[in-house]
Structure formats: C-alpha cells, structure tokens
Chain A
Amino acid sequence: MIRIENLHKAFGDQRVLQGVTLEVPSGEIVIVIGRSGGGKSVFLRHLLGLLQPDSGRILVDDVDITGLRGRALDRVRERYGVVFQGGALFDSMTVFDNVAFPLREKSALSPQEIQDRAEEKLAQVGLAGMGHKDPAEISGGMKKRVAIARALVTEPEIVFFDEPTTGLDPVLVNAIHHLILDLHRKFRFTAIMVSHEIPEIFQIAHRVAMLHDGVIVEAGDPKTIQGSANPVVQQFIRGEIEGPIRAT
C-alpha cells in the first residue's frame, strides 16, 4: 500500500501540489489523470524520490520515504520499476543491453540467467529477436515496449508509468494498455500511472484519481469517476472547452 498524505510542493511562487492525498492499494492499477502541466509528473517524481516535497508524507508500506536519502532510499527504489515518458532508454546500449542492464548492475544472476530473463521479457512485450537493435533504430511504440520490459525485468513490486502512451497512435495506445494489463495479471504488481488517455484508461484502471489545481479532486473506480457529479471531472473526461477548467 502506498499512501500519500497532504503533499505540498512549490517552485518559487508557483504552487504545483497543494495538499495531494491519495491511497494506492497493493496489486491495483491506479491512474492519475489531469491537465497537461497540472503537476502529474511532479507528483510522480515525488513518489520516485527524485523531488522532495515542501511538506506532507509518502508512505510505502508504512515507511515514510520523504525523509530518506542514500542507501535507505535506494532500498525502496529496488522495489520499483519505472517507465519514463520518453522511455529514457540508454542510447549508448542496444535494446537487449538496456533490458539486461538492471540485472547486470543489481542482481547476482549469472550471465546466462540474465540473458534468458532479458530475452523472456523482450518476448513478453512482443520484441523477440529485436535485442540487437539500437534505440535510435526502433519506432516510438517499440521504445515504450522496451522501456516496459526494462522496468519489469527485475520483477518489481511497484511499477510507475509516466504517460506511457503519449505520442502514439490509437491502435498502439490500446496495444500498450493491453500489454500493461496482461503483464499486471501475470505479475500482480502495484501500478501507478500518469495518463490523459481518456476513455482508454477506464478499461485498465482499478482506480482513477483526478489531479486538478494541485489537489486530488476525485478518486474512485472508473465507474464512479465516469459518473462523477464534479464539473471539473466531467469537463475533463468529456474534453469540453466550456466549464470550470480554462483552456489556456
């Protein structure tokens, strides 16, 4: 269980998070939606320990990670897998080496076991036989798949997805979502995803939370969110121009 309590963060005069409170039950897929530039990625970076909040707590299985540094924080991160928005693949390595990298650096597996595990993960994301290619040689959709394979190769308990389908066509968006869902059924990890792929996310999320003006204005299962009486939520999921959210 991940519990975020009253998280605040400001950059100078710009208050990005103004008291975010959210619970992420173990083994569930929780998707955070909200406007572009609304602080979703900032929120995610706090959970990863890449940003420190001005106030508030982030509890990962009752361990407050906001005060952790160095090895103590790394011990929590060893339970994480992260899919970054642009993939963040190491461009000096091949696709295979990218996937094998976390195992080579952090595990005690033999070279043969690492090769088997990396090839298995590449096959699971539909990229068997593509390991020899450089990241620059593959398409955007393939890069996302490689990033997912790399995030899952250590079999993490918690996986973070930062807009894993941004910039992809609708077919690929669905393919990536179904891939995440399949992998989740197989490995039962806890997933926190930041996305604004509406309505597609309602098919894969256990819970959806809407971040607006620095707070979670509504959280619940997809049906609750879709039927929400909150005008902000309704305007956002319908993509309407008129409403409380100003199209700036």
Chain B
Amino acid sequence: MNTEPSTAFLGPVESLGRASLDIVGSLGRFGLFLAQAVAWTFIPPFKFRQLLERVHFIGFRSLSIIILTGAFTGMVLGLQVFLTLVRFGSEAFLGPAVALSLIRELGPVLAALMVTGRAGSALTAEIGIMRITEQIDALTVMALNPVRYLIVPVIVAGFITFPLMTAIFDVVGIFGGYLVGVKLLGLSEGTYFGEMRTFVDMADIMTGFWKSLSFGVIVTWVCTYKGYYTGHGAEGVSRATTQAVVLSSVLILVWDYFLGSVLP
C-alpha cells in the first residue's frame, strides 16, 4: 500500500530522466561528431577527389535552383519595394533596398534553404543508405576512418560552396530587381546602381559572407550527422532525411537571427 504512490510518482520521473539523458547524450554525440570531423580535416592524407566530387554535388548541381530562386526573389523584392517606396516618393532607393535585403539577409538564408532541400536531403539519404547497407562498416573494418572519408569532404565542400552559392544568389537577385525596377517600372539604371554603391558597404557584404559560411557548416554537419546515425531500414533513412531538412532549416533561421543581432 505504501509503495503505490511512490511507484506512481517514479514512473514519469524515470521517463523524464531517461528522456533528458537521451537529449544530453544526443547533443554530446552531435558535438563530438563535428569535433571529430574538424580534427580529421587537418590530418593528412587529404581526400581531394572526394572533396571535388562533393563541391560538384553541393555547389555546381545546385546552380540552376539558386539562379532560378535568386532571380525571382530579386524580382519580387524589386516589385514590392518599388510599390512601397513610391508612396513616400523614395523610389530612388530601390537599388540599395534590394541589394541590402539580399546581401545581408535573403541571399544567405534562401540560398542555404535551397541547398538544404536539394543537396542536404540527398546527402542524408546517401550516407544513411551507406549505413544500413553496411558500407560504413565496410570502411571501418578496412581501417579507413568513415568520418575522414565521408564526412570531412562534405563539410569542407559546404564551407566552400555556400558563400559562392550565396554570392551568385545575390548577384542574380540584384539583376532580378533591376529587371523589374528599371526595365518594367521605369527607374533609371544610373539611380538603381548609383545609390547601391552609396549605401552598400563592405560590412554588409561581410555579414552575408559570415552567415553563408556558418550555414554551410550547419547544413552539412546536420545532414551528415543524421545520415551517419540513421535508424534501421528504409523508414529510418526516411525519418533521418526529414529530420535533417527540418533541423537544418530551423537552425538556419535561428542562427541567422543570432548573427544578425551580433554582426554589424
């Protein structure tokens, strides 16, 4: 009789404790995974061929989606910002408004989200399938470190390609805004680009650069981690892929806010 209340109380406490330990354990494993990858990045021999393949996969093969989304983002910005500025008689500032929005915020964030959807999900699925078909175990028993062989090239490729993809997104977006603002709505070309030179400075470009660089690490880190520690079978890979895309996207937005508030 006396043990009943304590047993009833212990059940949820035990579950809570177990869940907390699982979370702490997962976070620790998540951090160690990146630490291991960073350490192996600087230990030769370097896997240049794998790195080139990953740069091609993450960067070059995302180019069309980056150009497409960049162009339409710039065009929408051009249209909406023009319609707002014209109310205040300030349409001359369309160029800097489009450029600053793209360079500081939309370029890094949208490029990262697009690459996550196209390449991040595929990376998680690929590494996850390698896990469930014992290909990662095969590497391990060949005395080849799978983190060095599979993960490091992806993270380094993310580091290289995300700023480049963002730069392309920004440039295409600025020309998208030009197309709408100058060619369709009649703003002069000199005003669009001239004011941009006045208001956009190096600090804005560096803000976008640091954001894209960190997004490159976040996306490749999350996506490779989820694939590496995928669950069993097709369902496990499917769940890992969904989790990778959702977690990457959420972290991009949270980290964007954080960096936006600390960077000049």
Contact = CB atoms under 8 A, between A and B. Distances in A.
Partners in one complex: yes
Given A88-B133, A88-B134, A90-B135, A82 B143 contact: no
A234 interface: no
Interface residues of A, number: 21
B138 interface: yes
A84 B137 contact: yes
Interface stretch (A56-64, A73-81, A119-127): A73-81
B106 to A, nearest CB: 35
B142 interface: yes
B203 interface: no
Contact of B141 (A80, A86, A101): A80
Interface in A48-104: 48-50, 74-75, 77-78, 80, 82, 84-86, 88-91, 101-102
Interface string B127-142: 0000001110110111
Interface string A19-57: 000000000000000000000000001001110000000
B21 interface: no
B86 interface: no
A49 B145 CA distance: 13
A50 B144 contact: no
A91 B140 CA distance: 16
A132 interface: no
Nearest to A47: B141
Contacts of A77: 140-143
A23 B135 CA distance: 29
A66 B13 CA distance: 35
Interface string A219-233: 000000000000000
A163 to B, nearest CB: 12
A48 B134 CA distance: 13
B142 A88 contact: no
A88 B133 CA distance: 6
B202 to A, nearest CB: 41
Contacts of A45: 137
Contacts of B134: 84-86, 88
Interface in B128-183: 133-135, 137-138, 140-144
Contact of B140 (A50, A78, A90, A102): A50
A241 B142 CA distance: 40
A82 B135 CA distance: 11
A238 interface: no
Contacts of B133: 86, 88, 91
Contacts of B137: 45, 48, 50, 84, 88
B138 A106 contact: no
A189 to B, nearest CB: 15
Given A88-B134, A88-B135, A82 B144 contact: no
A88 B138 contact: yes
A105 interface: yes
Interface string A155-197: 0000000000000000000000000000000000000000000
B140 A106 contact: no
Contacts of A78: 143
Nearest to A74: B143
Nearest to B129: A91
Q: Which of B137, B140, B141 has the most CB of A within 10 A?
A: B141
B143 A84 contact: no
A86 B136 CA distance: 13
B119 to A, nearest CB: 15
A55 to B, nearest CB: 22
A77 B141 CA distance: 6
Nearest to B138: A88
Contacts of B140: 48-50, 77
Contacts of A50: 137, 140-141
A105 B144 contact: yes
Contacts of B141: 48-50, 77, 80, 82
Contacts of A85: 134
Nearest to B143: A74
Interface of B: 133-135, 137-138, 140-144
* Interchain residue pairs A-B with the least CB separation, the first 6: A74-B143, A88-B134, A88-B138, A77-B143, A84-B134, A82-B141
Given A48-B140, A91-B135, 10 more contacts: A48-B137, A49-B141, A50-B137, A77-B141, A84-B134, A84-B137, A84-B138, A85-B134, A88-B134, A105-B142
18 contacts: A49-B140, A74-B143, A77-B140, A77-B142, A78-B143, A82-B141, A84-B134, A84-B138, A85-B134, A86-B134, A88-B133, A88-B134, A88-B137, A90-B135, A91-B133, A105-B142, A105-B144, A106-B144
